[in-house]
Amino acid sequence: MLETICDILVDAYKRNWITSRDGNVSIRHHDRDHFYITPSGVRKQTLQPDQFKKIGISQGSHVTPIAIDLPYTDISANLKPSGELPLHFGLQKKMGQHKDEVRVVVHVHPTYCIAAMHAGIDLSTISDAFPELNRYTKVAPNVGDVPPISQELADQCHKNLQLDQKGNIAYDIVGIKGHGVVAIDTSPWRAYEHIERLEHICKIVLASGKYGT
Ligand SMILES: [Zn+2]
């Protein structure tokens, strides 16, 4: 699935959802005590599976899990994990409703989602009017202005997704004002489709001119 993640990031680049070095993705299989995350600062058009970083999740029920950079490939040894590691780690350390599956977390900067938040729209409020969105995708309330690659961004995203101690989440996607979105599902393309659906509806809402007060 690392190749599929490379494919979705190329697709995101072609859609102008990221510039070359933006965006990050993580993936965990339920029966592994590690996950993979995209490296920091690498051009997404040329990202290769052997560049991913392998992150261990420390064991021990009485200890707060911590992320450990594990050896993976010679190429990845010279790279750092994405700066949004705290965001991904919080969602990957316990898999919640995906505990028997795979969990994929995708973060990109889709144009119309960000434009809608910039225009004052809470993305969680627009799905009521659009069944093609709300049938498949649960949208969390927006996260406000938080610095990129910060623990604050991670904490606010986790809170708005209603992430609990077991890793359960109440939503499929959350928007971060002035920044982007984070989507979660059981495969790269499923997570990607939440973004695509929300982006499509945001484009329609903005085209209608009927929003805001
Ligand atoms: Zn970002």
Q: What number is the average pLDDT over the span 23-52?
A: 97
Q: What pTM value is reported for the model?
A: 0.96
Asked if residues 98 and 123 have their Cβ atoms less than 8 Å apart, the reply is: no
For all residues of the chain together, what is the average pLDDT?
95
Q: Is the pLDDT of residue 150 over 70?
A: yes
CA of 149 to the centre of ligand 1 (A): 8
Q: What is the DSSP letter of 139?
A: B
pLDDT at 60: 60
CA of 182 to the centre of ligand 1 (A): 9
CA of 41 to the centre of ligand 1 (A): 12
pLDDT at 211: 80
CA of 176 to the centre of ligand 1 (A): 9
CA of 65 to the centre of ligand 1 (A): 24
How distant, in Å, are the alpha carbons of 53, 150, 178, 208 from that of 119? 36, 24, 10, 13
CA of 108 to the centre of ligand 1 (A): 6
